[in-house]
Amino acid sequence: MPQFDAYSFSGQIFWTLLGFFIFYFFVLNVYVVHFSEVFKMRQKLYLSSLGSKKSSGVVDTYSPFFHAIF
């Protein structure tokens, strides 16, 4: 059967793994870094809003869900 031919099957495995790792490291270096920066900024805004007693122009969008993560 041609789909189980070791010569063509090994090439498919190679290109699939190569594509997966390229996609994985792209997501890891672009999106995860961006999301971590956003979460850090939200945590700083939340902690600064707790420290100040007066109201400010910053809207508190920090939810208890994200507080449990950090």
Query: Residues 33-69: pLDDT tens digits?
Result: 888 888 899 888 888 877 765 555 555 555 555 555 5
| Residue numbers of the domain that contains 36 | 2-69
**pLDDT at residue 18 greater than cutoff 90:** yes
When divided into structural domains, the chain yields a total of 1
pTM of this prediction? Answer: 0.50
What is each CA distance from 8 to 3, 12, 15, in whole angstroms? 8, 7, 11
